[in-house]
């Protein structure tokens, strides 16, 4: 029987040796390997957990990580600007990743424009977003790339294709929903992007052959809405009663979906791997000059 759960470990186990080989080759060729700098928030537990995961995976792959912690409540735009400018100018730094969400005193759009587009391993600089519009992204949004890896894993197992499928994305944020929508369009899926003002969300979800949910509301999507045989990618991370849950009612969805991601252990670790993949792409771009 085909495995229904799209576990991050399956993707990570496949991608990690390839990426490690790539990094070893680059090190042999250039006498140095990629160096990733991470700006995170010291008093924000999701940021600390994510930073720890990023450091661990980077070290395993042979990417040198460096971190700068900032205080969520007190960090200023000037401080963030100073750190990013210093990393932009440093030729030993190849990738820059600023954790999101940002504290309310910082403007995400402004921060995204500060990062050198060649070092932007989250794919958020307007130059990288614009290239995505023309399906020519050199560095894509890491979460969106992770979602596509998981969809491709489902297609590998089922032998299907995305072309002509009904794809529904719930959530239209700049770092997840919108880039996922663009990547699905690039693959010729008939794509609908739902958001806070969408009327009859249930009806859209019920049509989806491929459903991607990135909202941040526990179990917003009911299992009974899932089209039998659908591929369901749950990006949401919510803590309920000390337990991490997604945006989709997991057990009920499991009874209907052909493939679905667990939360935790689905999209998150694949996103970390995509940050590393993007760091390698950024390194290559910078060696070309």
Residues at the interface with ligand NDP (CB under 6 A): 143, 170-173, 175-177, 194-196, 198, 201, 214-217, 220, 235-238, 267-268, 271
Residues 6+ apart with CB under 8 A from 211: 167, 168, 170, 205, 221, 226, 227, 230, 231, 232, 233, 248
Shortest approach of ligand NDP to residue 71 CB, angstroms? 21
Distances (CA, A) of 257 to 71, 231, 236, 253: 42, 6, 17, 6
- Tell me: cis bond preceding 28? Omega within 30 of 0 counts: no
Closer residue to ligand NDP (CB): 92 or 224: 224
Closer residue to ligand NDP (CB): 26 or 176: 176
Shortest approach of ligand NDP to residue 233 CB, angstroms? 10
- Distance (Å, rounded) from C-alpha 278 to C-alpha 123? 8
Is residue 4 a contact partner of residue 150, using CB atoms and an 8 Å limit?
no
Residue keyed to tokens 């070893």: 24
Shortest approach of ligand NDP to residue 147 CB, angstroms? 9
- Distance (Å, rounded) from C-alpha 279 to C-alpha 256? 37
Closer residue to ligand NDP (CB): 22 or 149: 149
Closer residue to ligand NDP (CB): 75 or 142: 142
Shortest approach of ligand NDP to residue 26 CB, angstroms? 25
Closer residue to ligand NDP (CB): 93 or 102: 102
Shortest approach of ligand NDP to residue 259 CB, angstroms? 17
Closer residue to ligand NDP (CB): 176 or 226: 176
Shortest approach of ligand NDP to residue 234 CB, angstroms? 9
- Distance (Å, rounded) from C-alpha 273 to C-alpha 77? 28
Shortest approach of ligand NDP to residue 1 CB, angstroms? 27
Query: Percentages helix, strand, coil for the chain, rounded to the nearest 5?
Result: 45, 15, 35
Closer residue to ligand NDP (CB): 26 or 182: 182
Is residue 157 a contact partner of residue 3, using CB atoms and an 8 Å limit?
yes
- Distance (Å, rounded) from C-alpha 91 to C-alpha 158? 45
């Amino acid at each position: 029987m085909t495995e229904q759960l799209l576990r991050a470990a399956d993707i990570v186990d496949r991608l990690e040796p390839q990426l490690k080989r790539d990094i070893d080759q680059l090190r042999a060729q250039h006498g140095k390997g990629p160096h990733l700098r991470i700006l995170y928030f010291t008093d924000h537990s999701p940021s600390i957990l994510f930073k720890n995961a990023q450091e661990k995976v980077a070290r395993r792959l042979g990417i040198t990580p460096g971190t700068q912690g900032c205080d969520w409540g007190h960090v200023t735009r000037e401080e963030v600007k100073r750190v990013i400018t210093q990393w932009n100018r440093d030729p030993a730094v190849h990738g820059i990743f600023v954790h999101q969400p940002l504290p309310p005193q910082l403007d995400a759009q402004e921060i995204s424009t500060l990062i050198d587009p060649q070092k932007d391993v989250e794919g958020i600089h307007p130059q990288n977003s614009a290239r995505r519009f023309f399906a020519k992204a050199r560095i894509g949004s890491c979460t969106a790339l992770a979602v596509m890896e998981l969809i491709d894993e489902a297609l590998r197992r089922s032998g299907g294709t995305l072309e002509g499928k009904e794809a529904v994305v719930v959530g239209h944020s700049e770092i997840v929903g919108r880039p996922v929508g663009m990547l699905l369009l690039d693959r010729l899926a008939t794509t609908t992007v739902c958001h806070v003002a969408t009327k009859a969300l249930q009806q859209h979800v019920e049509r989806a052959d491929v459903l991607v949910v990135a909202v941040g509301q526990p179990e917003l999507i009911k299992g009974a809405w899932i089209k039998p045989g659908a591929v369901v990618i749950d990006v949401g991370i919510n803590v309920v009663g000390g337990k991490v849950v997604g945006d989709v009612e997991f057990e009920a969805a499991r009874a209907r979906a052909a493939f679905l991601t667990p939360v935790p252990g689905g999209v998150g670790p694949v996103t970390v791997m995509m940050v590393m993949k993007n760091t390698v792409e950024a390194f290559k771009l910078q060696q070309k000059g």
